[in-house]
A = this chain, B = another copy of it.
Amino acid sequence: MDTRDRITTTANRLFYTQGYNNTGINQIIKEAEVAKSSLYQYFPSKEDLLVEYLESTSLSTNSSLRSIADKHIQPREKILAIFDFLLDFSIQTEFQGCNFQNIAAEIPQEDGRIRALIRNQKNQVRKLFADILKPIGKENLADELSVLFDGAMVASKIFKELWPIRSTRKMVEKLL
């Protein structure tokens, strides 16, 4: 891995598992085994690392969700597969909920740049639902599915149990 990759891999892992505010630049430098000057060369501020974290997580999340949907033909199956993916995601050892929801709770209300990135990601998931459902004329359900997607993640994070995602899947089945 090159220096920049070592920095971003380490920062992304720490921001997710410990939280953004609980992670100091010095810990990232130490665990990535890079010089302080290298880190500042690529990322002049800690917020630049946060932007990179959100942008790369957004790309990988959307790519995963689209490839899961692509494995199915029927819109209904595509949507259910996305919610089944949440179940897999939530049983990972390091599961800490939704990366974007967590950052939204950590940053100040007035941080417009970061809030826009988070909102943008949530709008992309919402648009994915709409795109999938358009062929059967049910794209108006995208808003409801979007709330269910976020509810499943936050509730399973808090309870550390599987019932929130199973209950959500039931609602998705009823909706579609």
Measured CB to CB, the nearest residue on chain B to A95 is B109
Tell me if A96 is interfacial: C-beta within 8 Å of chain B: yes
Given contacts A155-B122, A171-B175, contact A105 B102 (CB under 8 A): yes
User: Nearest Cβ in chain B — how far from A97, in angstroms?
Assistant: 7
Q: In chain A, residues 131-176, which have Cβ atoms closer than 8 Å to a Cβ of chain B?
A: 143-144, 146-152, 154-155, 157-160, 163-164, 167-168, 170-171, 174-175
Are B150 and A118 neighbours in the complex by a CB distance under 8 Å? no
List B contacts of A171 (CB < 8 A). 144, 147-148, 171, 175
Tell me if A18 is interfacial: C-beta within 8 Å of chain B: yes
Tell me if A106 is interfacial: C-beta within 8 Å of chain B: yes
Given contacts A158-B101, A159-B119, contact A108 B147 (CB under 8 A): no
Q: How many copies does the complex hold?
A: 2
Are B158 and A147 neighbours in the complex by a CB distance under 8 Å? no
A residues contacting B by CB (< 8 A) are 17-19, 21-22, 96-97, 100-109, 115, 118-119, 122, 143-144, 146-152, 154-155, 157-160, 163-164, 167-168, 170-171, 174-175
Q: What are the nearest 10 A-B pairs in CB distance? A: A151-B151, A105-B105, A21-B21, A102-B105, A143-B167, A147-B151, A144-B167, A150-B155, A154-B154, A147-B155
